[in-house]
Structure 1
Amino acid sequence: MLTFEQKLEVIEAFPELTRKEVSMKRVNFQFEESLYDKKNVVYHLHPNGNGFVFVGDLPQYEADSRGLVNIRDFSASQLRSIIADSIDYLGREPEPPYDKRWTNREGEKLDLVYEEPFWNIYTGKNLEESFGTFDDAEDYLLDQGFKERN
């Protein structure tokens, strides 16, 4: 496990982050150029080595309900990687809304709608299914005999 000082050294190598002192000797690092209200990349880094990095809903990380990953046991390369991913995530334009109609041979219609963070399938105004990824929702629709229509 990296020490607090070693983690600071890795984090401070990112010039786009601004250090903010918080209570109980903890430190946050913010990405001021974030395209979202969320600016904290590193959250509550503590002298005991505990802390978190915001990754939102990036699929390669197991984040808590707030989009945070605990970095207590991260190596320097893991820490650099997750911070770079967080900065990229916060600096990336959001994908345009996805709302497409899918139909089957019988003429039945379902709507696939992205409502962050879920891919929801509606029959009219009724929610039919909900998925964590587009691929899972698409697989379900294709298995049920539906095709995307423009």
Structure 2
Amino acid sequence: MLTFEQKIEILDTFPELQRKDVSLGRTNYHYEDSAYDKKNVVYHLHKNGNGYVYVGQTPGYAPDDKGFVNIRSYSAEELRAAVEASIAYLSTPPAAVQAAPKRRKPKNGTERWSGPDKQVLELKFEDDLWYLYTGLNLEMAFETYEEAEEYLTEEGFTRS
């Protein structure tokens, strides 16, 4: 197990990290160029050698629910690798959050679908659901247009 001083010596070799001494003799290292709000790479490194490195969801690590791994018993190589993984993870911008798919709405509120045996169905968007009608009879209801379209296509229907 590395001592506190040995861990500090290794961590000080990363010029992109800023050392921050915090309460109770503990030390944090921040990565100010983080693409996330999170900037802590090393958290609460204690004089007894205990501490944590933030690895987020980096493969090959088993972090706690906050994304940290305990480095108490890490070798010099393991500590360097974890810090490098942390910096790489924090340097990668989060994937753009995809907007929820918009519900497609036919211009006149109704879409006609023709199928086998000249059957005609109407797809209507009402009350945040897609309703499929045969004449006045309700056949099915769908939460999204995509579900309705997939069902109709599988059943051999095409837009008319």
TM-score (norm 2): 0.60
Following superposition, the deviation at residue 46 of structure 1 comes to 0.2
Equivalent-residue separation in structure 2 for 1:65 and 1:32 (angstroms): 23
Q: Distance in 2 between matches of 1:124 and 1:95?
A: 26
Which residues in structure 2 correspond to 1:1-150 (within 5 Å)? Answer: 1-97=1-97, 124=143
Q: Distance in 2 between matches of 1:31 and 1:96?
A: 21
Segments of structure 2 that go 5 or more residues without pairing to the other structure are: 102-141, 145-160
Please tell me the residue identity of whatever aligns with 2:6: Q
Point out where structure 1 has 5 or more consecutive residues left out of the alignment: 102-122, 126-150
Deviates more, 1:51-60 or 1:39-48: 51-60
Larger-gyration structure (1/2): 2
Instruction: State the distance in 2 between where 1:124 and 1:18 align.
Output: 50
User: Which runs of structure 1 show a deviation greater than 4 angstroms over 4 or more consecutive aligned residues?
Assistant: none
Residues 29, 124 of structure 1: CA spacing in aligned structure 2 closer, same or farther, 3 A cutoff? Answer: farther
Instruction: Supply the distance in 2 between the matched residues of 1:83 and 1:69 (Cα, whole angstroms).
Output: 11
How far is 1:98 from its partner?
A: 6.3
Q: Deviations over 1:94-125 (max 9, x none)?
A: 234468x9xxxxxxxxxxxxxxxxxxxxx958
AA in 2 matched with 1:48: N
**Matched residue type, 1:93:** P
TM-score relative to the length of structure 1: 0.64
> Per the alignment, in what secondary structure is the counterpart of residue 80 of structure 1?
helix
CA distance in structure 1 between the aligned counterparts of 2:79 and 2:98, rounded to whole angstroms:
32
- How many residues get paired? 104
What are the superposed Cα offsets for residues 10-51 of structure 1, whole Å, 9 maximum, x if unpaired?
Answer: 101000000001110000000000011100000000000000
What secondary structure, in the 3-state scheme, does the structure 2 residue paired with 1:24 have?
Answer: helix
Seq. identity, %: 53
Aligned AA for 1:95? A
CA RMSD of aligned residues (A): 2.1
